[in-house]
């Protein structure tokens, strides 16, 4: 059995608690499909006492999300705090500088600093994944990166909005 992938999650709003719930509920299924156990080891959010509807008592709490990103027992940092600067940016940069992959759903961070963060990830030899920030999680980024790998695409610009797509579909 391989070693588990240990997550640090920053931001425990709707998306963050949803991630915790999925990992808790589907741990065995995820392990079978991924071939590796996924474990949450640390979390960070603005309020330690807020009722989130999920049990986070088994995870280490970090008041400082950057400190969480620097923990030796965190392999992958999931940034779900939001905001284009401040803690979200500092956490992402610290994680990548520490050799950790980052997953984010933060549209604002990517809109303002996406290019610089992508370059920093490449320089550090880590992955910066952001599928959850694009089109409501519609797997368009993976399709473009992998499905069109044989094509010579230099740039794609546009607005992808999952809510708009949902509304248009319903119409």
Q: Which domains does the chain have, with CATH numbers?
A: 5-133 (3.40.50.720), 135-171 (no CATH)
- Specify the pLDDT at position 1: 56
Q: Which of 143, 86, 90, 133 is nearest to 110 (CA)?
A: 133
Residue 61 has pLDDT above 90, yes or no: yes
Please compute the mean of the pLDDT values over residues 136-145 and round it to a whole number: 65
pLDDT for 8: 97
Question: Which residue in this structure is represented by tokens 């995820």?
Answer: 30
Task: Report in angstroms the alpha-carbon separations of 83 from 7, 107, 148.
Answer: 21, 8, 31
Read off the pLDDT band of 88 (50, 70, 90). Answer: very high
Whole-number average pLDDT of the chain:
87
Over 60: is that where the pLDDT of 127 sits? yes
Q: Is 75 within 8 Å of 69 (Cβ atoms)?
A: no
Please state whether the predicted TM-score (pTM) of the whole model is above 0.85. Answer: no
Q: Which residues pair with 103 in a beta bridge?
A: 78, 129
Taking residues 121-140, report their average pLDDT: 80
Report the b/e string of 7-33 with b at 16+ CB within 10 A.
bbbbbbeebbbebbeebeeeeeebbee
């Amino acid at each position: 059995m391989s070693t588990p992938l240990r997550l640090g999650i920053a931001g425990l709003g709707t998306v963050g608690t949803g991630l915790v719930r999925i990992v808790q509920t589907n741990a065995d299924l995820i392990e079978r499909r991924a071939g590796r156990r996924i474990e949450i080891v640390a979390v960070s959010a603005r309020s330690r006492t807020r009722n989130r509807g999920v049990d986070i008592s088994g995870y280490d709490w970090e008041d400082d999300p950057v400190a969480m990103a620097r923990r030796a027992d965190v392999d992958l940092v999931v940034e779900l705090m939001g905001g284009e600067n401040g803690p979200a940016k500092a956490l992402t940069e610290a994680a990548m500088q520490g050799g950790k992959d980052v997953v984010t759903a933060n549209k604002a961070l990517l809109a303002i600093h996406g290019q610089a963060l992508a370059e920093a990830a490449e320089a550090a030899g880590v992955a910066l994944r952001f599928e959850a920030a694009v089109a409501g999680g519609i797997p368009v980024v993976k399709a473009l990166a992998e499905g069109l790998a044989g094509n010579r695409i230099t740039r794609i610009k546009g607005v992808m909005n999952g809510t708009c797509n949902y509304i248009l579909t319903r119409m």
